[in-house]
Structure formats: structure tokens, C-alpha cells
Amino acid sequence: MKHLFKIFTICLFVSNLQAQATKGYDVGSNGTQSDSRILDMFENIKNRANSATKAISSIKGSPYFDESFKSSQVEYFGKTLKDNIYLRYNAFSDEMEMGKTANQNSSEEILIKNNKVACVIEGDTYRYLGYINENEAPAVGYVKELFKGDVFSFYMRETKAYMEATTARTSLERSFPARFVDKTEYYYAIENGPLQEVKLSKKKILTSLKPYASDIKTFINDKDYKLKKSKEVVELFTFLETL
């Protein structure tokens, strides 16, 4: 019963934070927020992780691409916070873990998951957005912004998938330990449309962006690109923005 009550309390706490995050700001007569409101706003972006994590000591690999906390900037409902915030991305749980210093090893707080809350870690902008995967139902998660224009946007989603251990049944098979496996997906959006998955290849991109096929072919022929690298696709969207 105590365990159930604890879970209920945590869920209620998270719900209250998210409800507060959607409210407007209290602005004084001089057009600025009071110190207490700024402190409240900072507290509102924090959310205690409420799910148990796997014991990773026996799992090969890491749930992080980078295990260190980095000094980061957080944009909260259009306002860039001036507080010194340290973040690291947990690619397995799809959470931005928050720290007070760059030297800590663990964290019990995460950034609130909301499309109005973004963060910049070492120059890379992460947003929490909805996306459509070719083989799955629509979902929401963190994506890294590779290109943002007036018409086109291009994102990368890097995550870690957990794979169960397997035991060889015969001498011809191999056993594998429990492990984290890297997964990378790319998404694009046109104007304010949804993020659509796209595979990096000339054929897939031409199929996905049929209305722009003629201009894309011109770009490909001029650059002799196969569009299998993200930087080539960034150049493509930069080119399309100029038309």
C-alpha cells in the first residue's frame, strides 16, 4: 500500500508541474517577471524520474552516447533561462537528465517533456516533438535539430534500444549478452507539418519530396551527391530554402 501511495504521489507531483507549465507568466508593471516567478519557472522545468531503471552493470554498452553532464541552455516557453544548468541525454529512456555540476555521476531529475521546452547542449539543439515513423505508430520524443529554415526542417533522432541476452542453442549459433544497440533515424518537416521519417538515399528523398523532385535532381547533379550523409541533406535543404 505504501508503494502504491508513493507512485500516486509522484504522478500527482508531475501532473501539477505540467499543469503549471502551461499557465501564463505573472508580469509586473515594468514588463518583467518577479524573482519568485523566475525561481518557480526554474523549478517547473524539473521533474523527478518516476520509473525504475534497469541495473546496467550487467548490460554491454551504455544508455548514453556521452555520460558526462554538459553546461546547457534551456528555453522554457520562449524564455531562455539564465540559470547554470547541466544536462545529459539518456538515449535509452529518452530523457534529459539534469545535474547541478558537471562532475556528478547520476541524477534523479529530468527536464519536463514538452514541445515548448528545448535545450542546447554544446551547440546542438534538442526538441521534444511528435514524429511519424514508417513502421510504427506516431510517437513523441527528443530529436536533434540539424537544419531549421522558414519552410524546411531536418532532424536526427539517436536512441539506444535494449536487447535481451540470447543463449546459443547449438554449436553453430552464438550467444549474445544483454546489450544496448544504437539506433539512428532522420525526419523532415515542411512548414508546420508533422515530422516524417526519411531514409538517407537519393531514391527515398526524391520519393518523400516529390513536389520538389526537379530542384532536388538539379542539386544532386550539380553536387554529385548520393544523399547518404546527413551533411549532404542539410546542404540540400539549405539549397531548397533559397528557391
Q: How many domains does the chain have?
A: 1
* pLDDT exceeds 60 at position 119: yes
In tens, the pLDDT along 130-189 reads 999 988 899 999 999 999 999 999 999 999 999 888 887 887 888 888 999 999 999 999
In tens, the pLDDT along 74-84 reads 999 989 999 88
19 found inside a domain: no
72 found inside a domain: no
- Per-residue confidence (pLDDT) for residue 113, from 0 to 100: 96
226 found inside a domain: yes
38 found inside a domain: no
**HSE toward the beta carbon, residue 180, CA cutoff 13 A:** 20
218 found inside a domain: yes
Supply the range of the domain harboring residue 232: 200-243
31 found inside a domain: no
Enter the pTM of the model: 0.77
219 found inside a domain: yes
What's the rounded mean pLDDT across residues 28-49? 48
220 found inside a domain: yes
